[in-house]
Structure 1
């Protein structure tokens, strides 16, 4: 589900939705027809308000990404989360490491590996 909150990453959500779609063997028409069932809150209202003018998957994806993927906000949220992230007492190292790597990718897709390692080991 995608709500449209500032800390949600639209590209990650779209990637997951595309994977569900592939698993279900949905073509672009079915992706578009089913997407409203995977949206909640602000994102659902956004879709309902634009549905009459958005008639296919390609247009939806472009408009959705443009509206919900403000790169400046996404970068700032990732930077803040990365700075305050720590491994919890019941969290596995693998889980923590994957969270750090994902945040590094959001903060800076071209971040050098040495910097990513630094964030994992801090």
Structure 2
């Protein structure tokens, strides 16, 4: 590690060296996309250009992945071609199906912020279908978002993930501010049964509108219950 000499005469301190690229073996349990992401991060830290990545990547392969590379090395002439081929070879169909199932059942957790929820969903979008449309992504996000945010979003449904994130975050901040203002607990039961009935009817109307929208966007999946 390199030493940094402080200007005030204090003792020098050391910066830890960045770790090298992880090793990819090509086993069924490994994720080639995650491995490539880690390799790219190390390459960026070391200022490697694409030709250098292609030279160095051999030393980050082992087992079946290394054998595959040696067998196809003469055809893997660019970094972009290498990435496309290694993903095509080692990305598991089961992995995509598992990500799809997770998408269909994923809901925003009680202590999960909008940004946390969206980032996790982005990861699943990429794994399930890297070419997924914005319309379909928004459909999944709307289906799993918290009830308190859903009711506000449905009035003017977002059309992109960016719009969803911005609008849902704004509603989230407003709800949190009102909750703190009135010192309300997370769950408050209505005192009036009449009010409860009215609120439930309103929720059901909203949900029915969105059910129809989700049937159009996601015909192969079930709407929220």
- Would you say same fold, with TM above 0.5? yes
Q: Provide the secondary structure at the position in 2 that maps to 1:25.
A: coil
Say whether residues 1:49 and 2:71 are aligned partners.
Answer: yes
Partner of 2:94: 73
Partner of 2:173: none
Does structure 2 retain, via aligned residues, the 8 Å contact 1:36–1:47? yes
Partner of 1:115: none
Partner of 1:17: 39
CA–CA distance in structure 1, aligned partners of residues 76 and 127 of structure 2: 28
Does structure 2 retain, via aligned residues, the 8 Å contact 1:54–1:60? yes
Question: C-alpha deviations, 1:2-61, integer Å up to 9, x for none?
Answer: 101111111111000000000110000000000010011000000000001111111111
Give the root-mean-square deviation of aligned CA atoms: 3.7
CA–CA distance in structure 2, aligned partners of residues 105 and 51 of structure 1: 27
With the length of structure 1 as denominator, give the TM-score of the two structures: 0.63
Give the superposition deviation at 1:75.
3.6
With the length of structure 2 as denominator, give the TM-score of the two structures: 0.39
Asked which structure has the greater CA Rg, the reply is 2
CA–CA distance in structure 1, aligned partners of residues 126 and 58 of structure 2: 28
Partner of 2:82: 60
Q: 1:9 to 1:42 in 2, by over 3 A?
A: same
Partner of 1:39: 61
Give the superposition deviation at 1:76.
5.3
Say whether residues 1:6 and 2:4 are aligned partners.
Answer: no
Mark the runs of 5 or more structure 2 residues left unpaired by the alignment. 1-21, 101-122, 138-225
> Where has structure 1 moved over 4 Å in runs of 4 or more?
76-79, 102-109
